[in-house]
Amino acid sequence: MSTKSFEGIRACVFDAYGTLFDVHSAVGRHADRLPDASAVSLLWRTKQLEYTWLRSLMDRYVDFWQITQDALDFALDTYRAADAALKDDLMQAYLELSCYPEVPAVLNEIKDRGFRCTVLSNGSPRMLGSAVKNSGLQDVFDAVISIDAIGIYKPDPRVYQMAVDQLGVSPSEIAFQSSNAWDAAGAGAFGFKVAWINRFGQQPERLGTVADAELKDLTALPGLLPDS
């Protein structure tokens, strides 16, 4: 991917879950207490995303913490692993998700080069604050933006507008990074330059947009950005 596609970028905006933070690390801490930990974790994540879309369509907003609990209940019931203590421990672990190994160095390099760095996430403010602090990233971000302020989930265009309003730049001056193909599509449709962080070799969504770059992780992102 040529760096020309990222010319004019002034700010980098990052999705949180799956992009910066490993959503499966919560179950990983308690894998020995589950009948099929990887399947539980995958279903938990799948239902979590589905509930954001469905609640947005139904106009029945609850915050991401509630959605995460509801999705976990569904996953634990499905695998007959419902247990109050286990649920509490898994939810606590979700507040302390591990970031991916390359994240701190990449973010610090981008910050040192003069680019503004912001999180734009479905997560509730408490969840995001805890994850950022747990990974020692408090000093990297100019802002951590939660959709909770407007009560609608990605990929609604109003969510991406929040980053534009916060940063005071045009959509074409923002590089948006997400591991979620549907989120990358939504951001591209809005007008951001998009790097899809395809950590797990997924197929692209058929949503009429194509990411400006597809990366295996965030390591190559600084090389795409122009000289500041």
Contact between residue 142 and residue 37 where contact means Cβ atoms under 8 Å apart: no
Of 156, 224, 158, the residue nearest 196 (C-alpha):
224
- Distance CA(189)–CA(89), nearest Å, equals 38
C-alpha distances out from residue 142 to 40, 71, 99, 159, Å: 35, 31, 18, 17
C-beta neighbour count of 172 within 10 angstroms: 13
**Active-site choice (15, 148, 183, 212):** 15
- Distance CA(56)–CA(60), nearest Å, equals 6
112 catalytic, yes or no? no
User: What residues act catalytically?
Assistant: 15
